[in-house]
Structure 1
Amino acid sequence: MRSPAELDHVRWHDLTHAHGPAADVPDLIRALYADDGDTAEGAIQELYGNIHHQGTVYPASAPAVPFLAHAVRHVPGRRDELLMLLAVLADHDPEDTESPHWPGSSVAAICAELARVLPDLLPCLGDPARAVRRAALRVVAAVARLLPPEVRATAEHRVEELYATDPVVVVRADALVALSRFGREVEAYDSPFAEVRLAAAMLAAERSGPPYEKRLVDVLAEDGAEPDPGSDDFPWTGTWSSDEHLTRLLTRDVDAGLTAAARWIAVGDLGSRGSRLGRDILDTWRDREPQVLGLLLAALPHQRDTRGSARCLTTISEWVERLPEPGADLRDTLHHYAHTEEETAAPALLALVRSRDPRALELVLRNPGPETLRAAATSFPEAADRLVPLVRRTLADGATGNEAIALIDALARSGTAARQAQPELLDCLRTRRAAVVAARRIGRGGVVTPETTSLLHEAAQSIDPSLSAAAALALHQLTGDADPALRVFEGLLSAQGPVHWHLSSLQALGSAAAPLLPLIEPLLTARYEWTRTAAAEAHHKVTGSPQRAVPILAALIGATPVGLCALRALAAIGQVPEELRPTLRSFAFSPLRLLPAIPFADVHPDEELRTLARSLLSLT
């Protein structure tokens, strides 16, 4: 350990942390000893923000360890917090110690320092405060495999004593986990303590990997139903709490996860554990919507407040369209919640619309909102004559931002010709309310009038590149005049910075964009993947030839956002290089979701990835 008197012996100015030079670290460490509790608390928070920032450690982190260890012993009121800071600083995968980068890494230096000061910290295992004992166990566990033999033997013996005799059950459970870091496997499924049984089952799940054996799943489902009230303060892995760790383990084995979620919901969905696990399963696994939405339906009566109910209903609204035929129980429940207070009524009504329940239409007409109108336009195309006037009126009332975008999209989904809603679209363009989307919609079937062309010409001069491009393209689509668009895109493609958005837009010009080929072709070899993707797609649209585009797009295919975009472009071309078929099969038949959801996206990216892959595989 090193006392604050030695802080000036370290060249902190030459070390760095998350925010640059570490010159502020000495003052933060001194502040830990302040009589003012707020000052010490603030210092700990700042240390979490610089020497340990979002899971990353830095060159200044290791030199701070012996000073933090001294503070642990001499600042009793902050002992548990300081021990936890040391534990998360030293957190690592034990297998990393064999990797080439480990010896020179910042985390290796931290662990070396912590191993040196650990004998001075072992008395904390006998501290009267259980929070301190729990935090001390995590410190021991962090470096258990890196301790010299004598220190290791002493530490392991102290941990074993806690496991056998500590009066607090959660401390015993923590001690069991710490023993596992010493390489000990303790059979504890028959322990009289649920917390210990749960810890043993989680360790076994980590060791075995999925699928988990039945008795392990039974313990996880039975003993994991009630949250550990202190788990958020005592993460075992990085900044994961033990509850989060349990959820991650169960999500890896979908059948075990569904079993546990059902059990947790059946006993009251305490802390929303079961419904949260269900949401994680939906995000991780394909084709589990029927089981999980059934669980969320069962969880609704157990929610303690409207926020919990709203979360369940929002998840149902996001996935209900994936059900082949939403059941009557689900639809009746959604109809009930659609009549409740606003926080739950809005997602319930949206879910009811997306479930195609006829009762939803009347509710939407009585209480219209942009998102529900857009959803209703898709679910009830036969009601366009009732929906479209309402959409137009709501748009004319001054909707802005995402609301205006949703309303314009509702017009498109209802099959409304742009000429029918042209007055509202022109007003959006004039007042710059969702002007980009309005210009695009006008271009797809608007009526050529002096007012229309004048507003589009004006918008084409905008300093907003997206608006100028959309307006110039709309002029071309309405009048056939490509010159405004060619001038706009020549400027956009010649500018510094990312150009892939503009390349994607100009595809609407088709062969009329041929004068821009000298600007497009060099971008086929750009370093930025998004630019190469958009350039290849644009080149094909302009020239009609797939020869140069297909190899570029095929090389970019992957389970990534840019890979999905390249796959979309390849599907539009309709060619599949033979060497791409194994990758496409993995996309088409993976049981796991390969891409995460994107907020406000109409189609889940993973669903699109699977659909496109299957479509391309069907090509001969």
Structure 2
Amino acid sequence: MDLTRFLADVDAQPWADLQHAYGSAADVPGLLRALAGESEEAASEAVSELYGSILHQGSVYGATARAVPYLARLAGAGYRTEDLLVLLGGIAEGGADDGDGDEAACRAAVVAQLPLLLATVDAEDQGLRRAAVRAAAMTGAAEKVLPVLRLRGETETDPGVRAELLGALARLDPAGTAAAATAALGADEPAEVRIAALLACVDGGVPWEPVHHGAMLSLLPANDLVEDRLDLEHGEPLRYVVEALLLRDTEADREAAYTLLDAALRSTVAGAREEALWAAEEACLLSRGAPERLAGAVPMLSADPADVPEAYALLMKLGPRAAAAAPVLALLAEGEGDPADRALETLVAVAPERAAPLLARDLGRRPRALGAACGFLTGGTSGTTFPYDSALLDAIRARLGADGLDAYEPVRLASLLTAWGSRASAALPELRSALPRFPAALPRALAAVCPPEHRAATAELLTTAARSGPEEGRLPAAQAVRELTGETGPLAAAVAAQCARGGHAVREAAHLAAELGPEAAGLVPALRSALGGPADGHDVPRLEGDIAIASALWRITGRAEEAVPVLADVLARLDAEWTGWTAVRAARAAAAIGDGARPLVPALEGLLTGGLRTPTAVLALHAIAPESLDRPRAAGLLLDAAEADADAVTALEALVVLGRTALTEDHRRRLTALAERDLRVRSSGVVSGMARADERLREQAREAVRTLS
């Protein structure tokens, strides 16, 4: 390669006009120059920077496709060949086979380099062969690639390349590769080849048989066997196999997955159980039946206290089903430092009644367990609170007067007291004393625990805090005054002051004004003055604040003409990519207005594109202009959203609102499946609460089935 001509060609391209992950691609020529330079360190840094810019976390850009021919020419000329072939494979993987966007352009650009890739499949160096096999497979060009890879497979002897070949063939032709993969499962094959063959069988849909079960167990621990593979998707083989079997969603495959997990969890091979625990955790997140099926392994998991810490994450996902582990968890929780805290955190999930007195014993040094206890309040079923314990109440009272509390502890202590309510009234003196130190965290707890005979004095304290205390505590204090006494003056004054200050807290102030309703008529000018507008563009906090203000104006004045123009402006400024939940809140605000929000119908209909925005848009249109809805089509969109976990709770709510006549037989079948299938619907949110959230969603789906039958 004529390097001078190559670099001149690079410099002639309009890189500054192209985009990558960090904006202008003007830096790409310098990176290409570094790849062809004499400094190994500079070339390595250039490869790393290219991964960060033109292939950022698997995403490709306009500059990516333009760079591909130059990367290929450098690779073909011997400059960082293996690294660049791997990069080209990643670009192809991030591309697409159709369309006219950046993804399709990138895939096509790498396909155009197949002559180089396929020629390198026969390179002398095994690292080059592996990289070329992977990159060629990622192009998806099966007709051109498969014959070359199969021919190579007939003579290849290196286990690493053979493993890569099996993975590549399975990607391009999963069913056609199944026989070869099954043949490579034998114990006489290298372990790297056997695990690749097993994964190829799974990807090819081969029925799971005893031979696969035995091979998987014999290969554990398996993660190291794929450590050198370029295929990161299979980086944890046991977890991948379990997930694949569960996703097949048949009784036979579920039984195979749980039988495999049970055997792996009981393995005495070093490292095997650790991989089994990771796979079991994934199963709990994926399958509704997993916690019940895996509970039988708990006695074995907790047999040796020294081994229990490895199982904490799984035990927390099993929750009360892991009660057999409670004695050993309690024993470990009586220790010192973070190890004891982690044991107690797990005990909170498994046996909260047993955890409460242990948490009381050393509350100040158990931040994990305290956080879990407070998470219990929000992650459990409706009405569930962490168990009241008098010793824990005494410990909380002592902590409220202690020095050195971090930013989270007062909030967590207050949340427990709030949940316990009047049972925690003994903490009233400590809450009153600590209020100046934690003005935002404690007002709600003060109102919740305060007995009738102390309401007047507590309300006076909170009123002073609302009028002259630290700014961050004025709204919470004023709200607590209202909860205690029903008096709204301090709250109205605090809302007006917050509206005058502006900022992101306007949204909270507007919500509180809305709760006051017509009593807050005097706040209307302040709310109007706090509105944003087109100059704020797509600033999400300002959009959210405007929605809250629109709702407050409607609740206070009852005049749609106050609120509808604000919501219309918000809906016009929504960005499809970043403002999904903002659109949901705008649609909810419109729904509350009802018929008076008819001017918003076209904008709301524009939200019926599937996904997160659709459920609330259906509810809004049903409330505002029900005649505008194609109800069977809307029911289908709602089921799409529920199945994709796109605000599934609202989707089911909207289905019930539409009524049974909107549902076809196929709709009914899909709704029943949501309620009764094994695969979880809820797949997003905080991991520790996903299973409980899915259980609540399943009950909602079952109720919807009963209502719509």
Q: Which residue of 1 aligns with 2:603?
A: none
1:185-264 matched pairs, under 5 angstroms: 185=177, 187-188=179-180, 189-191=182-184, 192=186, 193=189, 194-208=191-205, 212-214=207-209, 217-218=212-213, 221-222=216-217, 225-229=220-224, 231-232=226-227, 234-236=229-231, 241=235, 243=237, 246=241, 248-253=243-248, 254-264=254-264
CA distance in 2, matches of 1:60, 1:129: 30
Describe the shift of the 1:242–1:358 C-alpha distance in structure 2 as closer, same or farther (beyond 3 A). closer
Amino acid at match of 1:260: L
Describe the shift of the 1:417–1:8 C-alpha distance in structure 2 as closer, same or farther (beyond 3 A). same
Give 5+ residue unaligned stretches, structure 2.
249-253, 378-383, 521-554, 572-581, 595-618, 627-633
Q: Which residue of 1 aligns with 2:165?
A: 175
Q: Which residue of 2 aligns with 1:320?
A: 319
Amino acid at match of 1:441: A
Describe the shift of the 1:550–1:146 C-alpha distance in structure 2 as closer, same or farther (beyond 3 A). closer
Indicate whether 1:275 and 2:277 are aligned: yes
Over residues 144-164 of structure 1, what are the superposed CA-to-partner deviations in whole Å (9 max), with x where a residue is unaligned?
A: 5267xxxx3xx5454234423
Indicate whether 1:392 and 2:397 are aligned: yes
Amino acid at match of 2:443: A
How big is the shift at 1:53?
Answer: 1.0
Match among 28, 32, 40 for residue 37 of structure 1: 40
Match among 571, 585, 589 for residue 531 of structure 1: 585
Amino acid at match of 2:585: T
Indicate whether 1:62 and 2:86 are aligned: no
Kept in 2: contact 1:503–1:538 (CA 8 A): no
Q: TM-score, normalised by structure 1?
A: 0.78
Q: Which residue of 2 aligns with 1:159?
A: 149
Amino acid at match of 2:49: E
Q: Which residue of 2 aligns with 1:405?
A: 411
Amino acid at match of 1:138: R
Q: Which residue of 2 aligns with 1:444?
A: 448
Over residues 116-170 of structure 1, what are the superposed CA-to-partner deviations in whole Å (9 max), with x where a residue is unaligned?
A: 33323444334454333222110111225267xxxx3xx5454234423333223
Q: Which residue of 1 aligns with 2:696?
A: 608
Amino acid at match of 2:205: S
How big is the shift at 1:271?
Answer: 8.2
How big is the shift at 1:91?
Answer: 0.8
1:449-598 matched pairs, under 5 angstroms: 449=456, 452-459=459-466, 467-489=473-495, 509=516, 515=556, 517-518=558-559, 522=564, 527=571, 528-532=582-586, 535=589, 551=622, 559=642, 563=647, 566=650, 577-578=659-660, 579=662, 582=668, 585=672, 587-595=674-682, 596-598=684-686
How big is the shift at 1:87?
Answer: 0.5
Describe the shift of the 1:208–1:568 C-alpha distance in structure 2 as closer, same or farther (beyond 3 A). closer
Over residues 433-456 of structure 1, what are the superposed CA-to-partner deviations in whole Å (9 max), with x where a residue is unaligned?
A: 3x4442222233534455753544
CA distance in 1, matches of 2:460, 2:707: 43
Over residues 64-114 of structure 1, what are the superposed CA-to-partner deviations in whole Å (9 max), with x where a residue is unaligned?
A: 1122123324456x4332221110100158xx53xxxx2423233233332
SS in 2 for 1:401: coil
CA distance in 2, matches of 1:275, 1:459: 51
Kept in 2: contact 1:503–1:535 (CA 8 A): no
CA distance in 2, matches of 1:199, 1:602: 32
CA distance in 2, matches of 1:603, 1:524: 35
Describe the shift of the 1:341–1:295 C-alpha distance in structure 2 as closer, same or farther (beyond 3 A). farther
CA distance in 2, matches of 1:479, 1:197: 72
Kept in 1: contact 2:361–2:395 (CA 8 A): no
Describe the shift of the 1:350–1:472 C-alpha distance in structure 2 as closer, same or farther (beyond 3 A). same
SS in 1 for 2:480: helix
1:76-91 matched pairs, under 5 angstroms: 78-91=80-93
Paired positions, count: 585
Match among 7, 18, 23 for residue 20 of structure 1: 23
Q: TM-score, normalised by structure 2?
A: 0.69
CA distance in 1, matches of 2:343, 2:389: 22
CA distance in 1, matches of 2:355, 2:57: 44
CA distance in 2, matches of 1:197, 1:177: 11
Give 5+ residue unaligned stretches, structure 1.
541-547
CA distance in 2, matches of 1:157, 1:17: 35
How big is the shift at 1:405?
Answer: 1.9
Indicate whether 1:130 and 2:126 are aligned: yes
Indicate whether 1:141 and 2:134 are aligned: no
Q: Which residue of 2 aligns with 1:545?
A: none
Kept in 2: contact 1:313–1:344 (CA 8 A): no
How big is the shift at 1:48?
Answer: 0.6
SS in 1 for 2:222: coil
Amino acid at match of 1:598: V
How big is the shift at 1:248?
Answer: 4.3
Kept in 1: contact 2:19–2:62 (CA 8 A): yes
Kept in 1: contact 2:17–2:25 (CA 8 A): yes
Q: Which residue of 1 aligns with 2:610?
A: none
CA distance in 2, matches of 1:203, 1:382: 49
Q: Which residue of 2 aligns with 1:112?
A: 108
CA distance in 2, matches of 1:300, 1:128: 51
Kept in 2: contact 1:2–1:67 (CA 8 A): no
How big is the shift at 1:300?
Answer: 6.9
Kept in 1: contact 2:422–2:449 (CA 8 A): no
Kept in 2: contact 1:490–1:516 (CA 8 A): no
Kept in 2: contact 1:384–1:414 (CA 8 A): no
SS in 2 for 1:592: coil
Kept in 2: contact 1:469–1:485 (CA 8 A): yes
SS in 1 for 2:479: helix
Moved more, 269-278 or 452-461: 452-461
Describe the shift of the 1:11–1:132 C-alpha distance in structure 2 as closer, same or farther (beyond 3 A). same
Moved more, 264-273 or 505-514: 505-514
RMSD (Å) for aligned C-alpha atoms: 4.4
SS in 2 for 1:278: helix
How big is the shift at 1:619?
Answer: 6.3
Kept in 2: contact 1:597–1:604 (CA 8 A): no
